[in-house]
Amino acid sequence: MNRAFNKARQLTQETHGDRRTRKEEGFQTAERGLPRLGSILSVPLADSVSSYLGSANPFAAKVDPKTECVWVLDNTAYRPIHPYPHSEQPWQALFIVAYFKKNTGKDISKVVADIADKIGLKKGSGEERERGEKTIAERLQPFMDAVAPARKVDVKLPDDSTKTLGPGGRSAVSQHVVALRSSHDNGSTAQISAIPPEITPHGPMTTHFAEPEGWMVISDIDDTIKRTLTPSPVGILRTTFLLPPAPIPSMPQLYSHLLSFLNPTWFYLSASPYNLHPFLRSFIRDNYPSGTILLREASWMDLGGFLASLTQGTEAYKRERMEMLHRMLPRRKVICIGDSTQSDPEAYGDICRMYPGWVKAIFIRKVTDVAEMNVTEKNVPERFEKAFKDVPKETWRVFEDPNELYSAVDALYDK
């Protein structure tokens, strides 16, 4: 899907609550003030035109290792549920690849200085400003390089066979469901490399294998397990581009308990754009159980689109992603974990009503340590009662301290 379509779709999915938050906190003004980083017009004309054909593009070329690179995103393999099962179904997984031109970003120094000013780094503050700008430059890089539509790439599957993925369309992202014929145990992982491996600057992808039955955690990221300050545009920019990524206190320990007690498969569902995959992947690997990160195809080369991605139409986006997870793993027992800054309660309530009995527990972190939350109605009991209308009261729980949840988690063992 192209950028204009994504923006229009987000706008149509925007809720009244989204509009109110974005207006009160000045998100539109902040987005207009952020620099544009590039354009599809920088792509060669032939690739730009043929990219409209998407995955059916007969003119697509293989990635050139000298000038291009790819990100191969982690995924989860599952066995489809056949209505008349006569034998065990083979593994399959959705493979997502993003394609880029190397070293094609515009002069990054001006963009870095602009972001530094907006998030409050003082000019002329010597080493502090210099260190801050260096961090900003490193984290901005995934937004800077031009996308490379109409490209394909080969990957080496676990059985040593080769599969061609792509081509990417207007957004230079390809998505293909691939059957995996090799044998794997539930909970195991496999590393899958692009060919040649050096075209993947962030390394090989990890495929997680999940049998049809067992437990599954669907966890939000921003302000659920990572401090992002989602209600504030400046807060989002500071925590994303400047500050060290910080886990929410006691959440790593809770997730470790969930892992050891229920051994679930993990999905981290965020409205952040794909640009942040390397950043979030590193953060989760350092602090939480390994799992598949589901992100939004929204804002390549567009910092304003990054802020909109996190704050506009998130309920519909998350509901659609969870519908996909239900199609993949309808027999899994699900735990949904989110927070009150965005629309997690509403999205999780929607899914409970759509698929009665699939979700066994919902835990919503009531965010009280972000100043902007103290002047909204997002933490009032009536909001949660409305979001979880017709959802059994014993299914959902609002908490402030993760240590409140251990007994609730332990009670899930026999469900």
% of the chain exceeding 90 in pLDDT: 67
CA 384 vs CA 7, 31, 348, 364: distances in Å: 29, 30, 11, 9
Q: What is the mean pLDDT of residues 207-220?
A: 98
Q: How many C-beta neighbours within 10 Å does residue 224 have?
A: 26
Q: What is the mean pLDDT of residues 244-256?
A: 97
Q: pLDDT tens-digit profile of 90-114? A: 999 999 999 998 887 667 888 899 9
Most confident stretch, 4-18, 113-127, 246-260 = 246-260
Residue type, 324: M
Q: pLDDT tens-digit profile of 121-135? A: 877 668 889 999 999
Q: What are 91's two structure tokens?
A: 């593994």
* Burial group, residue 186, by CB count within 10 angstroms (0-12, 13-18, 19+): middle
- d(CA 386, CA 210) in angstroms, rounded, equals 33
Q: How many C-beta neighbours within 10 Å does residue 116 have?
A: 21
Decide the pairing of beta strands 359-365 and 333-339: parallel
**Predicted model pTM:** 0.93
Q: pLDDT tens-digit profile of 264-280? A: 999 999 999 888 999 99
Residues in the chain: 415
CB 55 within 8 A of CB 150: no
Whether 84 has a pLDDT exceeding 90, the answer reads no
CB 331 within 8 A of CB 212: yes
**Collapsing DSSP states into helix, strand and coil, what is residue 275?**
helix
Whether 175 has a pLDDT exceeding 80, the answer reads yes
Q: pLDDT band at 139, cuts 50/70/90?
A: very high
Q: pLDDT tens-digit profile of 332-377? A: 999 999 999 999 999 999 999 999 999 999 999 999 988 778 768 8
Half-sphere exposure of 361 (CA within 13 A, CB side): 23
* Burial group, residue 46, by CB count within 10 angstroms (0-12, 13-18, 19+): exposed
Residue type, 325: L
Tokens 């061609």 correspond to 164
